[in-house]
Structure 1
Amino acid sequence: MQPIWTPSDKWLEETNLRHYQAFLEKNHGLIFSSYADLHTWSVSHKADFWKSIWDFSGIIGDTGEGPFVVNEDHFLDAQFFPNACLNFAENVLAGLKHFEDDESVIVFWSEQGVKLHVTKADLLLQIKKFRAWFQDQKLQAGDRVCAFVPNTHDSFAAVLAASSLGLVWASCSPDFGVEAVLDRFEQLKPKALIAATGYYYKGRYFDLGEKVHQLSSALGTQGSTVVFDYPGFEDKSKQAYVNIADQETHENEITFERFSFNHPLYVMFSSGTTGKPKCIVHGAGGTLIQHIKEHQLHCDIKPKDRVFYFSTCSWMMWNWHVTTMASGAAILLFDGFPFLPTPTILFDFAEAEKMTLFGTASKYIDALRKRSLDIKKTHDLSALRMITSTGGPLVHESFEYIYKHIKQDVCVASISGGTDIISCFVLGCPILPVYAGQIQCKGLGMDVSVVDEAGISVEETKGELTCQTPFPSKPIEFVGDSEHAKYKKSYFDRFDNVWCHGDYAEETAENGLIIYGRSDNVLNPGGVRIGTAEIYRQVEKVDAVTEALAVGQQWDEDVRVILFVTLRDGVDLDEALKAEIRSVIKNNSSPRHVPSKIIAVPALPKTKNGKLVENVVRNVIHGEEVVNKSTLENPECLTYFANIPELQVA
């Protein structure tokens, strides 16, 4: 297989990863002839590897006396840097040393046309205001604060202020309904609530006053709620609560107390599609060192780079984006619908702000491709070095689209990990070639292996994505899980002392990886395991289809594949179109992949982060209860899948 992109010699020489290899040679006498050799060392010498990341990146804090990894042989009990202390925010804000006080360190664009440049001095002042408010509330290190906020510079300032004081942060984006937010926040018993007064989406301003009132009342934070205005709508601010704009601060220099490496930093939430979301606690040190490794070595982020990730404050990529400032990057934020006011608004942003890393969801790239947008002809993206995609597999055709129609000389990194580890298992590598449809590599320090049903490692064969040994960003705990029962069931139920991530994957001959979808959504007709992404990739070739969702239906003591599709305006699902879909799937995959039934629906259900929910549709077609509809962006569309006559017959 031929690569779709190969780094030049000049590119290679300038990468952080090459500088890191030189650092290892100079300081430890270690020379590696390939990335694979470096990866093998990183997982077989964990203490040396993670200590080298601390030293190479210049993490601020005290590592303490070694050993730097204890209980390495037991996943759940393993600890990294057990005697270390640091402050997460101190390390993130250390990246500001590369900027003058009047230089922009955050640039915010919104759908309705607001463009804000937040200087270093502006950001530090806003952090001091939030710190002063937290201190006025008598909050102590370890207290939890919850945020109901959009993706703005104020949210960024608030999370850094909270972490600077050792507070624990959890956030939801404001498009969540009150019930869905309370399902998450009530479990945490927060001491304070941070909220925006509103947000803007798809051409409309949404006032959050009533939602914030309901949340504050239910959480018991009426006296400890602070709000900030949405950019461009300051005059709409409701003053029922303290507005951070009115907060006074007398702090000259921020002083940072240092906490243990495993001091809690974030609470992240599982999707909650099968019940109340699990509350996953991540530590400051593990999050910091893992993100810095990914940013500097895998994403090649350097001082004065300009990094963008299209995200909301409900998605772990927002937390991941926050940490990029630790590597000296300026932060580029966009809030709103990514195709308004124009379909190319994000690339307008990229060109105007000389974006160096463009991060987004795979579905966004798919949508660009289906709109046939030729970005390369309309935009100057000369500063752009890397495009990253996550939230689902990036299909082969979307890789080709990027190189033909966005930019030719760019490293395209499909990345995969999750909320559970607030980072990646497999991701990009700036010194390796890119192969269409593949994730470039296993993350350094991540002992990733694809295994068969018996837990034996396999190559060029589909299996379960696992991590064989511990890593620093594994969760500290789940909230309300003192015996670790939920923790163990979530990751170690399948294989003893081996993290099973729940992805159906394959390691390729090129040492890359392909993710075929979630394991619990794998189809099994006639005993043959099929990842849903294998079907989606083929269906996307059919121009009349805009999106597809495949599930397995129990039928005649077996499983049959049911394919739901949404169609372009004015298109009907006639027998000719069904035949075309089946032919494309059969000719490019196999007869086993061909669905027994193809059914058109007006819409497909998704989470708030835009992910298809195959398991929910599977429950509906089998007449089973959907436990928590509030986690869905469009729960009303579930009615399309209930009691379908066509699914009651052969």
Structure 2
Amino acid sequence: MSQIWEPTKKARQESRLMDFARTAENRFNHELPNYDAIHNWSTDYPEEFWSHAWDYLGMIGTKGSKVITKGKLFQDTVFFSDSEINIAENLLQRNDETLAIIWHSETGETLKLTWAELHGYVSVIQQGLIEMGVKEGDSVAAWLPNRPETIAIMIATVSIGAIFTSASPDFGSKGLLDRFSQVEPKVLFATDQYPYGGKWFSCTERLHDVVSGLPTLQGTIVIPYLDKDPIEIGENNLSWRNFVEQYTARDVKFVRQEFNHPWYILYSSGTTGKPKCIVHRSGGVLIKHLVEHGLQCDIKPGDRVFYYTTAGWMMWNWLASALASKATVVLYDGSPFYPTPYSLFDLVDQTSTTLFGISAKYLDSCSKARISPVDSHDLSSLRTICSTGSTLSAEAFDYVYSSIKTNIHLQSMSGGTDLCGCLVGGDPTGPVHRGEIQKSALGVGIEILNENGDPLGKGQQGELVSNTPFPSMPLSFLNDEAGEKYNKAYFEKYLGKWHQGDFAEWTATNGVVIHGRSDTTLNPGGVRIGTAEIYNIVDSFSEISESVVISQEWEGDNRIVLFVIVSESATLDEELKRKIKSSLREQASPRHVPSLIISVPDLPRTRSGKLSELAVKAVAEGSSVSNTEALANPEALDYFVELKELQ
């Protein structure tokens, strides 16, 4: 694949990555002239790398002397076992009148918080939580939009050693209780309503159900989206205004816990069962984020970092950690295409955003809408665009450089909720190649293996694994005392290696292409095909709005079935089917050609906006989807049940 961009020599030399490398060269007597050398050092000498990362990236705490303590098994490895930190202390290093958070809503509302104001917010919330009986090890839950209050509540929670968990307000009561009931929160913060796409959605009826389903609650604080009278939901509820006005801001108290004390509880998607509650380490996630932000995304103090996300996706947690790099966090709540398709690009210019984070699907939608910010917007502040959530197609790379900005570091990256970070990502000092993720993440030893566990070479597709432990491996799953579910999730397939569940390949330039999830890999005639190979071709058709492809068991084998949503002006006639099949045959292979192409009115997606191939596959094969609450639009599955073509 062709090179599409590279940084200037000056930009390379001024990057934080190369400054980090120069200081490491002096300290450890290594030669680290480029990313590959730095990465090799990070995996060959992990104690040196992670120790230097702590110092260079400004971790606050008692470092201790034990950087890595190896256990009997891969997953027993512990980082900084005798260290102590407080997450809030690291996120609130600044306390001045510069901006910490900038918030915009699709409604036109805005809010700016200085670092001093954020300290004040955190202080009063901290006092309130302590008075409500929250202590170290307790859980605090937030069912909130992507607002500054959500970040302040998180910081206050972890300042006292409690554990924070969150979900977006579009969750139904059952889906929320499937998650929060396992966590048993002592305090719940919730909203009364939220806007999306120009419409308002009430949460009050669901909130009554949620509160009644959480018997561990000592109190519920309702944060109104608009300034209005508080709603009544029970004797232990408070309005946000009454909650914060009880206290006067003072210095935030930081109580340090051990490095691997829990910070977050995140959740698996739950489409195949009750969501797994993933307990994440405080120091492990923070230092992983600091490395990704400072060294791979080149985030610097004073930068303005944006990611389009809800408070229910791990990218919200990733974004909030930018405060530890002394950067300003830019938040947006609502539809990215409301009131216009240019809304997020307006935000970039209005806030002087330096890092613009979005999903691959967003870029695909912008391309199909034929919007061209390069012609309508300034975007001079923007240095980096990050994309994750699904595979970024080669055509999306073309779109970014032709229609958004020509001189930009486009960083496709991939990881997951499981590690609250990335396994493969960007290199701010190296070239960007069309359709590729640039490099393995620092401190992570990536291999691509076949079914027998043998390493594969360039151009061969297999399973993505890490052969080195990394700090943000989950601490545990809730209600998994023996660790059986944890071990099965990541270590059952390949002994002694973290199995991510992604189907991938090395490229000729030492980059990586992710071909989709392993559990959705197509298998016609026994040949494994990644779903992204088909999406990259099908979704390039202007007549196709969205698509899902599955492998359906059929007459003793597997057949490929492609479901498409056609654009408003198109029809899935025989000619369009022929064009799709011909393109797949010519650009991929005859094995990629689907047996069936079926037009559907809608496709199921998770709460974080990802299309759910597994849900479609289950219905297509006559199985039920065990947890439809994990889907934002479960009614979309009804159409598949009646499809005669699948019978």
Alignment of 1:231-246 (within 5 A): 233-235=226-228, 237-238=230-231, 240=233, 241-246=237-242
The structural deviation recorded for 1:105 is 1.7
Q: 1:475 — aligned with what?
A: 474
Q: 2:333 — aligned with what?
A: 335
- State the one-letter code of the partner of 2:605: K
- State the one-letter code of the partner of 1:215: V
C-alpha contact (below 8 Å) 1:130/1:244 kept by paired residues: no
Q: 2:392 — aligned with what?
A: 394
Alignment of 1:60-459 (within 5 A): 60-66=60-66, 68-71=67-70, 74-94=73-93, 96=94, 100-101=96-97, 103-220=98-215, 223-230=218-225, 233-235=226-228, 237-238=230-231, 240=233, 241-246=237-242, 247=244, 248-459=246-457
Please list the CA deviations of residues 543-577 of structure 1 after superposition, one character each: whole Å capped at 9, or x if unmatched: 21111111111112111100000001142211111
Q: 2:551 — aligned with what?
A: 552
Q: What is the CA–CA distance in structure 1 between the aligned matches of 2:216 and 2:419, rounded to whole Å?
A: 30
The structural deviation recorded for 1:25 is 1.6
- More deviation, 269-278/246-255: 246-255
- State the one-letter code of the partner of 1:61: G
Q: What is the CA–CA distance in structure 2 between the aligned matches of 1:222 and 1:164, rounded to whole Å?
A: 20
The structural deviation recorded for 1:116 is 1.5
- State the one-letter code of the partner of 1:540: D
The structural deviation recorded for 1:139 is 1.1
Q: What is the CA–CA distance in structure 2 between the aligned matches of 1:254 and 1:123, rounded to whole Å?
A: 10
Q: What is the CA–CA distance in structure 2 between the aligned matches of 1:30 and 1:56, rounded to whole Å?
A: 16
Please list the CA deviations of residues 129-170 of structure 1 after superposition, one character each: whole Å capped at 9, or x if unmatched: 211110111111010111111100000100000011111011
Q: What is the CA–CA distance in structure 2 between the aligned matches of 1:236 and 1:558, rounded to whole Å?
A: 61
Q: What is the CA–CA distance in structure 2 between the aligned matches of 1:341 and 1:547, rounded to whole Å?
A: 22
SS at match of 1:4: strand
C-alpha contact (below 8 Å) 1:307/1:329 kept by paired residues: yes
- State the one-letter code of the partner of 1:630: E
Q: What is the CA–CA distance in structure 2 between the aligned matches of 1:257 and 1:239, rounded to whole Å?
A: 34
Give the fraction of aligned pairs with identical amino acids, expressed as a percent.
42
Q: What is the CA–CA distance in structure 1 between the aligned matches of 2:447 and 2:248, rounded to whole Å?
A: 53
C-alpha contact (below 8 Å) 1:269/1:419 kept by paired residues: yes
- State the one-letter code of the partner of 1:331: V
C-alpha contact (below 8 Å) 1:449/1:468 kept by paired residues: yes
Please list the CA deviations of residues 347-367 of structure 1 after superposition, one character each: whole Å capped at 9, or x if unmatched: 000011110000011100000
Please list the CA deviations of residues 447-499 of structure 1 after superposition, one character each: whole Å capped at 9, or x if unmatched: 11111111111122100000112110000000000000000110111111211
- State the one-letter code of the partner of 2:455: S
The structural deviation recorded for 1:207 is 2.9
- More deviation, 492-501/470-479: 492-501
- State the one-letter code of the partner of 2:191: A
C-alpha contact (below 8 Å) 2:515/2:531 kept by paired residues: yes
The structural deviation recorded for 1:502 is 0.4
C-alpha contact (below 8 Å) 2:146/2:310 kept by paired residues: yes
Please list the CA deviations of residues 195-242 of structure 1 after superposition, one character each: whole Å capped at 9, or x if unmatched: 122211121222322222221111025641112222xx1125425521
- More deviation, 510-519/115-124: 115-124
Aligned Cα root-mean-square deviation (Å): 1.2
Q: 2:644 — aligned with what?
A: 645
C-alpha contact (below 8 Å) 2:185/2:217 kept by paired residues: no
Cα gap change, 1:561/1:269 in structure 2, threshold over 3 Å: closer, same or farther?
Answer: same
The structural deviation recorded for 1:586 is 1.0
The structural deviation recorded for 1:251 is 4.6
Q: What is the CA–CA distance in structure 1 between the aligned matches of 2:181 and 2:232, rounded to whole Å?
A: 24
Please list the CA deviations of residues 508-557 of structure 1 after superposition, one character each: whole Å capped at 9, or x if unmatched: 11011000000010001111111111001111222211111111111121
Q: What is the CA–CA distance in structure 1 between the aligned matches of 2:602 and 2:199, rounded to whole Å?
A: 22
- More deviation, 477-486/207-216: 207-216
Q: 1:518 — aligned with what?
A: 517
C-alpha contact (below 8 Å) 1:129/1:244 kept by paired residues: no
- State the one-letter code of the partner of 1:302: K
Aligned residues between the structures = 641
Q: What is the CA–CA distance in structure 1 between the aligned matches of 2:247 and 2:263, rounded to whole Å?
A: 24
The structural deviation recorded for 1:122 is 2.2
SS at match of 1:604: coil
C-alpha contact (below 8 Å) 1:72/1:470 kept by paired residues: no
The structural deviation recorded for 1:647 is 2.6
SS at match of 1:373: coil
- State the one-letter code of the partner of 2:122: I
Q: 1:617 — aligned with what?
A: 616
- More deviation, 118-127/431-440: 118-127
Q: What is the CA–CA distance in structure 1 between the aligned matches of 2:232 and 2:428, rounded to whole Å?
A: 49
SS at match of 2:75: coil
Report the TM-score, using the length of structure 2 for normalisation: 0.97
Q: What is the CA–CA distance in structure 1 between the aligned matches of 2:25 and 2:576, rounded to whole Å?
A: 60
SS at match of 1:505: strand
Q: 2:40 — aligned with what?
A: 40
- State the one-letter code of the partner of 2:239: N
Q: What is the CA–CA distance in structure 2 between the aligned matches of 1:540 and 1:314, rounded to whole Å?
A: 27
C-alpha contact (below 8 Å) 2:121/2:249 kept by paired residues: no
- State the one-letter code of the partner of 1:582: K
Alignment of 1:573-588 (within 5 A): 573-588=572-587
The structural deviation recorded for 1:243 is 2.1
In structure 2, runs of 5+ residues without a counterpart are none
Q: What is the CA–CA distance in structure 1 between the aligned matches of 2:78 and 2:270, rounded to whole Å?
A: 28
C-alpha contact (below 8 Å) 1:72/1:469 kept by paired residues: no
Report the TM-score, using the length of structure 1 for normalisation: 0.97
- State the one-letter code of the partner of 1:128: S
- State the one-letter code of the partner of 2:511: G
- State the one-letter code of the partner of 2:200: Y
Q: What is the CA–CA distance in structure 2 between the aligned matches of 1:132 and 1:249, rounded to whole Å?
A: 7
- State the one-letter code of the partner of 2:296: H
SS at match of 2:424: strand
Alignment of 1:628-639 (within 5 A): 628-639=627-638
Cα gap change, 1:222/1:528 in structure 2, threshold over 3 Å: closer, same or farther?
Answer: closer
C-alpha contact (below 8 Å) 2:184/2:216 kept by paired residues: no
Q: What is the CA–CA distance in structure 2 between the aligned matches of 1:559 and 1:277, rounded to whole Å?
A: 28
C-alpha contact (below 8 Å) 2:192/2:204 kept by paired residues: yes
Q: 1:3 — aligned with what?
A: 3
The structural deviation recorded for 1:28 is 2.0
Please list the CA deviations of residues 381-422 of structure 1 after superposition, one character each: whole Å capped at 9, or x if unmatched: 111000000000000000010000000111000110000000
The structural deviation recorded for 1:194 is 1.2
Q: What is the CA–CA distance in structure 1 between the aligned matches of 2:617 and 2:557, rounded to whole Å?
A: 15
C-alpha contact (below 8 Å) 1:449/1:466 kept by paired residues: yes
C-alpha contact (below 8 Å) 1:193/1:221 kept by paired residues: no
C-alpha contact (below 8 Å) 1:271/1:277 kept by paired residues: yes
SS at match of 2:629: helix
